[in-house]
Structure 1
Amino acid sequence: MIAVLDIGIGNVRSVVRALHKLGANAELTSDPDALREADGLVVPGQGAMGAVMNSLKAARADRIIERRVAGGRPVLGICVGLQVMFDSSTEHGGAAGLAQWPGVVDRLPSAIVPHIGWSTVDVPPGSTLFHGIDSERFYFAHSYAVQSDPAAELTEELFDPPLVTFAEHGTRFVAAVESGPLSATQFHPEKSGDAGLELLRNWLGSI
C-alpha cells in the first residue's frame, strides 16, 4: 500500500490518480498508523516551505518521515516535499526543514520567476528514478530551489553520497535526489506525462 500524505495543501489527488493508473493501491491519508505502516509514503507539497513544515508538524508527520527514513522505509517527496528534506529555506523570512540533506532552499536568480514549464534534467549514472527516461522533460512549478550540491557537502564516510539530478533556470538547481530509502523530485512527476508516470513506476518498483 502507498500512503499519500494529506496535510490539506495542494492538489494531491492528482498524485493518487497517477499511482492508481500504475496499478498501485494508493490512499490519500493523514492517519499516523497508515503513514507508518505503508509500504511507501509520498510527501507532496505546494506553496511556501514554512507553511508545509507547519502542517507536517501539526500532523506529527515530520516525526513519521524521520522514523521511516531511519528505518529504511521508502519515502518520496514531490515539489515542496523535496524542499522540506533540506536544512532550511529563506522564503518568507526563513523556515527550518527536516535536515535529511544539507542545503538551503533559496529564490531562483532568474528574470522569470516562478519557473513554470517543462525542462530537461542532468541525471547522474546509476539513477533508479530516471532509468530509461534520463533524456525526457519534466514539469516544474516553483520559485525557490536548492542551488548547492548536497552530495558535495556530505563528508561523513559512513554514508554513501546521494545521487543528485540537476536542472537549470537562471542557475543550476537540484531537480531530484536519491538517497537510500529517501527520494524526492522538485518537479511534479504526476503532471509530467508518460515520463513522470515512468518515474513513479521506477519508484514503485524499488519498494
Structure 2
Amino acid sequence: MIAIIDYDAGNMKSVEKAFQYLNEDAVITRDRKAILEADRVVLPGVGAFGDAMERLHSYDLVETIQDAVKSGKPFLGICLGLQLLFDSSEETPGVKGLGLLPGEILRIPAAEGLKIPHMGWNSIDIKEDSRLFEGIDRQSYMYFVHSYYLKARNPEDVAATTWYSTDIHAAVEHDNIFACQFHPEKSSELGLRILKNFADLRL
C-alpha cells in the first residue's frame, strides 16, 4: 500500500488517481499508523514552503515523516514535497524544513524572456544510474510549476537537472529518499513510468 500524506497541500487527488491508473493501492491519509505501516510513502504538495511546514507541524506529521524515512521504506517527494525535505527556503526565511537531505531552496532568478513561476514542459538531464528514471530516455520532458528551486549540497544526491534561468536540481535520490521538482502525475506516460518505477522499487 502507498500512503499519500494529507496535509491540505494541493495535488493529492491527482497523485492518487495516477497510482490507481497503474493499479496500485494508494490511500490519502494523515494517520500516523497508516503511514508507518504503508509499504511506500508519498509527500506531494503545491503552495508555499512556510504554510506547508506549519500544516505538517499542526497535524503532527513531522515526526511521522522522519520515522517513515528512518524505517527505510521508499519515500517520494513531489514538487513542494521535494522542497520540504531540505533545510530551508528563501520563500519563507527563518522556517526550518524537514532537514532530511542537505540543501536549500532558492528563488529562480529573473531572466529576460523567462516567466516566473516556471510553468510548463522542460527537458531534464537524467543521471545514468537513476533507479527512479529506469527505462526513461536521459533527455525527457516533464511538467513543472514552481518559482523556487533546489540547490542540493551533495552532488551525488542529484538524479536529474534542468535549466530555467539557472541550473536546477530537478530530482534527487538518496538511499530510500526520492523526489521530483516536476509533477510526474502531470507528465503523461513518462511521468506514469516514474511513479510505476517508484511503486516497484525493491531496496
TM-score by length of 1: 0.91
Could you say which residue in structure 2 is the equivalent of 1:126?
129
Could you say which residue in structure 2 is the equivalent of 1:141?
145
Could you say which residue in structure 2 is the equivalent of 1:155?
none
Secondary structure (helix, strand or coil) at the match of 1:139 reads: strand
Superposition RMSD on alpha carbons, in Å?
Answer: 1.3
Could you say which residue in structure 2 is the equivalent of 1:178?
173
Could you say which residue in structure 2 is the equivalent of 1:77?
77
In structure 1, how many angstroms separate the alpha carbons of the residues matched to 2:152 and 2:9? Answer: 28
How many residue pairs match? The answer is: 198
In structure 1, how many angstroms separate the alpha carbons of the residues matched to 2:153 and 2:24? Answer: 31
Secondary structure (helix, strand or coil) at the match of 1:206 reads: coil
Could you say which residue in structure 2 is the equivalent of 1:157?
none
Q: Which runs of 5+ in 1 are unaligned?
A: 153-160
**Contact 2:125–2:140 (CA under 8 A) maintained in structure 1:** no
1:203 pairs with one of 174, 181, 198? 198
Q: How far apart are 1:162 and its partner, in Å?
A: 2.2
Q: Which runs of 5+ in 2 are unaligned?
A: none
Please tell me whether residue 3 in structure 1 is matched to residue 7 in structure 2.
no
Identity of aligned residues (%): 41
Give the 3 Å change call, closer, same or farther, for CA 94–115 of structure 1 in structure 2: farther
**Contact 1:149–1:164 (CA under 8 A) maintained in structure 2:** no
Q: How far apart are 1:198 and its partner, in Å?
A: 0.3
Amino acid in the other structure paired with 1:118: W
Q: Give a deviation string over 1:94-153, Cα, whole Å, max 9, x none.
A: 42111111111111013320000001111112101111213221000000011x34324x
Q: How far apart are 1:23 and its partner, in Å?
A: 0.8
